[in-house]
A = this chain, B = another copy of it.
């Protein structure tokens, strides 16, 4: 594996473990097993290395949300994607970055994060619109709103799980959201 790849891989690991601000180029080079000269040959600095790493991580994660475009009824796809196992205490590799002031202040980095959310939210929105069209959710539901609600449940679940150092709050938040979707389904059926 090339030094460049070893560097982005080490950066990705450290971003997840420690976040952006707390990760120094020194740490990255040590984990990558690469000298300082290599790092500054391939990248102009910490920011540049982060841009490439963010891009790679965002691509992997946005592929995940394509579960929403799979088989089954729209409501089942929504519930299925909500219930995908997520390591709550480790946090979302993308969502976590929004709370790092150094990332938010970096226009290029936050744009990568925002774009990843846009892709995932678009898929949520389409699946919700499909569920409404199929009569599985009430027509009073606004797809763009509910998409953000369900994405927020997951992102907020990570926050609660990290606050307690425990996976349980994440799982509880998802169960509660599923039960609301089931209740809304029942309401739609009664119409």
Contact = CB atoms under 8 A, between A and B. Distances in A.
A99 to B, nearest CB: 4
Q: How many copies of the chain does the oligomer comprise?
A: 2
A134 interface: no
Nearest to A149: B176
B163 A149 contact: no
Interface stretch (A3-11, A16-24, A33-41, A59-67): A16-24
A16 to B, nearest CB: 10
The number of chain A residues touching the other chain, given as a range, is 35 or more
Interface in A142-186: 142, 144-157, 159-160, 162-165, 169, 172-177, 179-184, 186
A28 B156 CA distance: 29
Contacts of A96: 99
Main secondary structure of the interface of A (DSSP, over half): helix
A54 to B, nearest CB: 12
Interface in A21-60: 21-22
Contact of A159 (B21, B99, B177): B99
Given A148-B160, A152-B160, 9 more contacts: A98-B162, A141-B179, A142-B179, A146-B179, A148-B172, A149-B175, A149-B177, A151-B160, A184-B184
